[in-house]
Amino acid sequence: MKADALRGHLDPMILAVVEPEPLHGYAIMEALLARSGGELDLPTGTLYPALRRLERAGYLASEWSTVGGRKRRTYQLTSAGAKMLAAGKQEWLTFRSVVEGVLRPGEA
Amino acid sequence: MKADALRGHLDPMILAVVEPEPLHGYAIMEALLARSGGELDLPTGTLYPALRRLERAGYLASEWSTVGGRKRRTYQLTSAGAKMLAAGKQEWLTFRSVVEGVLRPGEA
DNA sequence: GCTTCATAAGTAGAGTGGCTACATGTTGCC
DNA sequence: GGCAACATGTAGCCACTCTACTTATGAAGC
């Protein structure tokens, strides 16, 4: 999977994995990896800046904690983030229908 | 639909519309608009550079012609382009399953 | 004749966001 | 002592889409 493909789709995916429960960055990486069947292996240089961006934008809120001597920054969805996630899901459906309307992926 | 969403997905879509028959730039724009149900209205500043890029890469071949006093540059798919298109369709299926695995868009 | 829209192709420059590569530190296993 | 996994982060690159602009013809409306 090419890198650019992710552009603009990563944000809702991050919001989606923290929706059911707050997670720290490393756990978010693992959740994305698991939920994508091992396909979505984000480099830290992508994830951490994305988290800060989402927090600055008000979609996530973070809190520091220490577990077993390791510092963690745990992110949870804000109400604005929940709205953004819902909008993102809707946009995905539109995007998908656009691409498939043009690509007709069945006709290989 | 946000602009970035298109990133990395535009190329296969362009290849897809010129697959059945060669088209010139303006006609490609219209074909994309039609096939996407009016959603994909590309600015010329996106399309024309993309076409040149795809030609430089060997996926498209172009030819000038004049129709009704208007100059047209008609693009057709090369065999490398056809391969690229097939690969692009496959990649789309992977990408789709990754996003939907993470997003679970049904659970709105 | 003049304006305006659709047709047709292009360039310049900006912005953004995911990437590579690097930096830092802990815990636990061999 | 050394390495893997855990955990967080920054700096800078680069590719692609965008806005805004330029050029030019044909047809319709007034």
Q: What is the pLDDT of residues A4-37, one digit of tens each?
A: 999 999 999 999 999 999 999 999 999 999 999 9
Residue A52's pLDDT is what?
Answer: 98
Residue A108's pLDDT is what?
Answer: 59
Crossing angle for the helix pair A10-18 and B79-103, to the nearest 10 degrees = 20
Q: Tell if B6 CB is < 7 Å from nucleic strand D.
A: yes
Query: Residue B15 has what DSSP assignment?
Result: H
Instruction: Give percent helix, percent strand, percent coil of chain B, each to the nearest 5.
Output: 55, 15, 25
B77 phi, psi to nearest 5 deg: -70, 135
Closest CA to B9 of A105, A88, A40, A4: A4
Q: Is A7 on the interface with B (CB under 8 A)?
A: yes
Q: Answer whether A108 sits within 8 Å of B96, measured CB to CB.
A: no
Query: Residue A21 has what DSSP assignment?
Result: S
- Average pLDDT over chain B reads 96
A–B interface: beta-carbon pairs under 8 A: 100
Which protein residue's Cα is closest to nucleotide C6 at C1'? B26
Q: Work out the number of other CB atoms within 10 angstroms of the CB of residue A54.
A: 23
Q: Is B108 on the interface with A (CB under 8 A)?
A: yes
> Does pLDDT of A68 surpass 70?
yes
Q: Tell if B49 CB is < 7 Å from nucleic strand C.
A: yes
- Pick the more confident residue, B69 or A100: A100
